[in-house]
Amino acid sequence: MIPRTLFTSDHETFRDTVRRFLENEAVPFHEQWEQDGQVPRELWTKAGEQGFLCPMVAEEYGGLGTNYLYSAVVSEEISRYGLTGIGWGLHTEIVAPYIEHYGSEEQKQKYLPKMVTGETISAIAMSEPGAGSDLQGVKTSAVRDGDGWVLNGSKTFITNGQNADVIIVVAKTDPSAGARGISLFLVDADMKGFERGKNLKKVGMKAQDTSELFFQDVKLPADALLGEEGKGFAYLMQELPQERLGIAVNGLAMAESALQHTLEYVKERKAFGQRIADFQNTQFKLAELHTELEVARVYVDRCMELHIEGKLDIPSAAAVKYYVTDLQCKVIDDCLQLHGGYGYMWEYPIARMFADARVQRIYGGTNEIMKTIISRALLES
């Protein structure tokens, strides 16, 4: 195994704390949460007490003021245990940075401290029934109404949708201006005209509350605008590299966990009078998967290093997202095959991973969109 040099002893101490917390507070209950379709709010507040939520937020707003690596540690451990119902990554690595980077001082003071403690759960509403990866195609609109705005539209596939207390909503403020006509708004869940739709039933990630959201004549005050009017698309483009890197971090950790589960299984399971591990095909396949994951690990760690240095550009983030999630699905599929019929049984972790992994190639921008971004950068260089 190639040793990881990116994380210090402090990171690894933090990792041990995260692991113990998840083993005690999440792993024993995740199957029930899959049946419930969401995790309890109490898990969020317990995590907040431990400093697992929004560690990158500045200390003046209650965070730890750390770099991305502490958040990556939390995400890796959640993925290793297959705890895909826990929506902390979106809350920590996507929503909080938008508020901290583009919000007013009043918005930061209002939302960030309670996001750190887990009292406030957040979501971001981009996708719509008729617009997924095409962010410029959103139909949700925000129209001027005196000093404020009136918001109308619907969103779908929204992570943390049932639990969210505040939602960043992507809306058109000038339909004639293309990308420059998109703005972001902070919508509190108790606002009149906001309604949650059903908790969507999915192929995988069954414990994650993924919802439809509806906005009917929601009257927003002037200070609900996040950042400047018409800058929403630019903000999205600036923040998407971290989101896509996070998807790669999660994907690789899950794939590594899948291989570990498979190694344990093939050493114990027997067929035709010998262990599955003793067949040459098994040995060759394990060697292939190990090597591919080692290559991906070096790649992902390097991208994290670049991100910390402020050098991870949009095409590079797209590349690591597409490469790792494609590999994740391949590795898990091969690992399931080595489990035989038991790999298709929901009680085995590999079956859950197989179902959970598939969406990785879709959200955060489909892998086809990632390839379009990469090719454009190549052709324009």
Active-site residue identified among 105, 243, 309, 368: 243
Q: How many CB atoms lie within 10 A of CB 272?
A: 7
Residue 265 has, within 13 A of its CA and on its CB side, a CA count of 20
Report how far residue 256's alpha carbon sits from residue 297's, in angstroms, rounded to the nearest whole number. 9
Cβ neighbours, 10 Å, residue 141:
17
Distance in angstroms (rounded) separating the CA atoms of residues 187 and 203: 29
Let me know: does 205 contact 85? Beta carbons within 8 Å: yes
Beta strands in the chain (DSSP E): 122-125, 141-145, 148-159, 166-172, 182-188, 194-199, 210-220, 225-226, 270-271, 274-275
Q: How far is CA 198 from the centre of its chain?
A: 21
Number of H helices and E strands in the chain, helices first, is: 12, 10
Cβ-based neighbours of 318, under 8 Å, separated by 6 or more = 244, 365, 369, 370, 371, 373, 374
What backbone phi and psi angles, to 5 degrees, belong to 264? -65, -40
**What is the DSSP code string of 346-376?**
TTSHHHHHHHHHGGGGTTTS-HHHHHHHHHH
Q: Is 105 a catalytic residue?
A: no
Active site residue ranges? 243
